[in-house]
Amino acid sequence: MSHGILVYQQIRALIERGALTSTPAISPAQIQPSSLDLRLSTRGYRVRSGFLPEYVRVADRLEEMSLYAFDLADGAVLEKGHCYIVPLLERIAEPLPHLIRANPKSSTGRLDLFTRLLADRCGRFETVPPGYTGPMYLEIVPRSFPVKVRTGLSLCQIRFSEGQSSLSDDELRAEHARSPLLFDDHGKPLAADKLRIDNGLMMGVAIRRDRDIQGPIGYVAKRYTGVVDMQNEGGHETDQYFDAIAEPRDGRFIVAPEEFYIFASKERIRIPKHLAAEMVAYDVGIGELRTNYAGFFDNGFGGEHGTRAVLEVRPHDVPFLLEDGQVFFKLEFFRTQELPEVAYGDKRLSSHYQGQALKLSKHFRN
């Protein structure tokens, strides 16, 4: 058995042989270097609560939990704080040996859209077990803004893996020694003794300006806003949805409970073309903080000299003090089975966040 995550040409082969199907057909634009974008179907359901369909079909549970159904063909507004389930256009038509994992797309996370993939009789969110055939669904909860969505919109992506694909800490150190993974404010590779590695590669949060953060050091979502139309890229005024956070004099900033923040990582990350990475929960006992929504990095992210990761932060329970550079999240790296034919940043892909500094979602004017 091959070990690792499937890449662009392997995902394309699954589609071409009919293992993954959709009406309308899956578009080549949905295939990323090591992931596949999934699209919303024509109908959605407002539900009383989220649920995990461990012993039932999702469709059967929807009959019990739905308050109403609505059409997505011409667009529909999902209200802030409400829970929705939307079937996806794509389905798995053939039993596969792969474990399938899902993540929200980058723009989804930067809008504070909480999403989770569901599959029939599956007892875990964001996971589809090997051998599964059938439909997939997406739970959607807008947390900060009402959003307008339509049939065909992609809010999440999936990846396919076999065997043990994650890199050990020793393998991570060896990768950095061969070709650097992390870079500092000046674009220089971090020295080996400066790496913070513990079941993944630790990274910090930027609370001070530097050579490519010259304006705000972060953003906090406004509480009462208009609708974000997710089909309208670059069509929303930033100051109608976010307040800018100025650089604090002492390099420290207190985040408030249940507010939504956007920050940038202190370091720059580079994902080699033979690897992919996921931003994962960092259990440090620093309090109840959700530090990422959309945490998957395709092969090639960061180019040759690294790109900042953008952090979506929502504290819970108590205010929390952030200090410039403190460890705030970590990346788990995964080997891929082959080199992808295309990498993140390739002109053939829609790569909105290559070379980013502190950047909101693509829906806002720069």
- pLDDT, position 315: 85
Same domain? For 25 and 151 the reply is yes
pTM recorded for the entire structure: 0.93
Same domain? For 150 and 233 the reply is no
Mean pLDDT of the chain, nearest integer? 91
Nearest 5°: CA angle at 79, between 243 and 128?
A: 100
Residue 243's pLDDT band, with cuts at 50, 70 and 90, is very high
CA distances from 79 to 224, 243, 358 (A): 12, 21, 27
Number of domains making up the chain: 2
Same domain? For 21 and 158 the reply is yes
CATH number, residue 14: 2.70.40.10
Same domain? For 217 and 274 the reply is yes
Q: Which domain holds residue 57?
A: 4-162
Same domain? For 158 and 30 the reply is yes
User: Is residue 60 domain-resident?
Assistant: yes
Is pLDDT larger for residue 58 or for residue 292? Answer: 58
Residue 68's DSSP bridge partners are: 46
Q: Is the dihedral of CA 164, 167, 169, 175 positive or negative?
A: positive
Residue 283's pLDDT band, with cuts at 50, 70 and 90, is low
- pLDDT, position 263: 94
Pull the structure tokens for residue 196.
């913070």
User: Is residue 362 domain-resident?
Assistant: no
Same domain? For 230 and 144 the reply is no
User: Is residue 351 domain-resident?
Assistant: no
Same domain? For 110 and 254 the reply is no
Pull the structure tokens for residue 134.
């059938």
- pLDDT, position 269: 93
Residue 289's pLDDT band, with cuts at 50, 70 and 90, is low
- In three-state secondary structure terms, 129 is coil
Per-residue pLDDT of 319-362, as tens digits, reads 989 999 988 888 999 999 999 999 987 766 655 545 567 889 99
The closest alpha carbon to 37, from 11, 18, 5, belongs to 11
- pLDDT, position 181: 96
Q: List Cβ neighbours of 321 (8 Å cut-off, separation of 6 or more).
A: 252, 253, 254
Q: Which of 9-23, 75-89, 318-332 has the lowest mean pLDDT?
A: 318-332
CA distances from 15 to 33, 99, 135, 315 (A): 15, 16, 15, 40
**Which residue shows structure tokens 């992210």?**
301
Same domain? For 177 and 121 the reply is no
